[in-house]
Amino acid sequence: MFEWSETDEMIRGAVRAFIDKEVRPNLDALDSGEMSPYPVIRKLFSEFGIDVMTGEMVTKMLAKQRAREEALAAGEPLPEKPKKESGGSPFSGQESLMAVLIGELSGVCMGLVSAMGVSIGLGATTIMSRGTLAQKERWLPDIVTMKKVAAWAITEPDSGSDAFGGMKTYVKRDGEDYILNGQKTFITNGPYADVVVVYAKLDEGDGAEKRDRKVLTFVLDKGMEGFTQGKPFKKMGLHSSPTGELFFDNVRLSKDRLLGETEEHKGGDGRDSARSSFTAERVGVAFMALGIINECHRLCIDYAKNRKLWGQEIGRFQLVQLKLAKMEVARINVQNMVFSALERGRAGKQPTLAEASAMKLYASEAATEVAMEAVQLFGGNGYMTEYRVEQLARDAKSLMIYAGSNEIQVTHVAKGLLAQ
């Protein structure tokens, strides 16, 4: 893949029309928190038929899985096995569409992408890949259609980059149930989520080293006794994406809330589930970074053509040209990364964690540099909210922290190289 297809460009035009109508006029309200992102996302899903498409896909997938399980239980011949198992993303086969959608939204209001991406890309995908059929039927249809919002809770106050080793949130067995205690922080959608996927250490009371204890994954619903969702944090950027804390005070969890309903999940413990999500999330950061770069690129070219100083357009000055040229180099590089990821996905070859970390590291740094240079190119205007490049700079910076700080990406890339 070396360029966007005609279909991709048609979708881009339609998405831009939606953004111009529904997002740009409400940017101030979204950025201030006055307007919730979720109705906008639901309207997007409705207008583009994404809710119907994902709903039908999940319904068919679950029906096939139920038919196989019922045939197996009855000792009957199994129905033909689908080419793709039920694990993976709810948007499998629609990666190009989602890349265009994510890129266009990120360049205008990246918080919408974060809210949507965490709900479906992390919340729904984790349930899809690790849940039993009953669990998938219970939660997936509402999440993939955005009828309900999901959160994905792993980060804690003392265990950001050291997500597993420093994890203090724990569960203890209590008969057939589990009792959950602890706290999570920096949780996207946390304040308003209807469904929350929570990672916790299993405390078996045997004095085992805390860092090495098994990690289990549970699904909680809003309003459960002992489960408190904190108010949204005030952040530097991504204002339209609610982020907050979650508190667990002796929350009783029945076994049907443990994903897979077993502590010995065939896909490994919660660490393996999270690592798979990290890979997808980091590739997604490259898609978001491309959106930031494209919008800065567009705004700066337009400004360089129309802003005049000393009787001529500033685009005639070589230092301004240097900034534009570097933006173009960044745009080409990150776009090629995105094209490579899309092409490999179509071929069924997903990137390794190290490769995804490399994409995230480069793309997030490129987007931040481009956005900061955009502010500089606009001069005093660039520091004013009405010109929007200041918002792009604030949002871009989050990409260097989001999905694991860039310092951690370096270690993952290096470990991947040294393990060869």
Tell me the per-residue pLDDT of 269-312, one tens digit each, with 9 for 90 and over: 777 777 778 888 999 999 999 999 999 999 999 999 999 999 99
Say yes or no: 312 and 376 in one domain: yes
- pLDDT of residue 86 exceeding 50, the answer is no
Question: Residue 281 catalytic?
Answer: yes
pLDDT of residue 85: 44
* Within-domain flag for 413: yes
DSSP string, 107-164: HHHHHHHHHHIIIIIIIIHHHHHH--HHHHHHHHHHHHTTSS-EEEE---TT-SSSTT
The CATH number linked to 123 is 1.10.540.10
**How does the average pLDDT of the chain come out, rounded?**
91
Q: How many domains does the chain have?
A: 3
Query: Does residue 200 sit in the same domain as residue 123?
Result: no
Query: Residue 338: which CATH number?
Result: 1.20.140.10
Q: Residue 176 pLDDT more than 90?
A: yes
The answer on 40 and 10 residing in a single domain is yes
Confidence of residue 81 (pLDDT cuts 50, 70, 90): low
> Cα–Cα distance between 115 and 238 in angstroms, integer?
10
Angstrom distance (rounded) from CA 340 to CA 156: 34
Residues 22 and 137 in one domain: yes
One-letter amino acid at 99 equals A
Residue 219 has pLDDT above 60, yes or no: yes
Instruction: Answer yes or no: is 262 within a domain.
Output: no
Residue 1 lies in a domain: no
137 vs 76, 85, 131, 133, 140, CA distance in Å? Answer: 23, 16, 9, 6, 6
8-state DSSP, 76: P
Looking at the fold, whether 194 and 108 belong to one and the same domain comes out as no
For residues 252 and 281, state if they share a domain.
no
Q: Is residue 12 part of a domain?
A: yes
CA angle 9–12–15, rounded 5-degree value: 155
Residue 387 domain-assigned (yes or no): yes
Per-residue pLDDT reduced to its tens digit, 249-275: 999 999 999 999 988 877 667 777 777
* 111, 129, 149 - which closes a domain: 149
Closest-CA residue to 291 (of 387, 419, 166, 392): 392
Catalytic residue among 156, 281, 295, 373: 281
Residues 303 and 225 in one domain: no
- Is 239 in the same domain as 362? no
Q: Which residue range(s) make up the domain with 393? A: 271-419
Q: Are residues 405 and 328 in the same domain?
A: yes
How much is the pTM?
A: 0.90
Do residues 305 and 389 share a domain? yes
Is residue 264 domain-resident?
no
Do 293 and 412 belong to one domain? yes
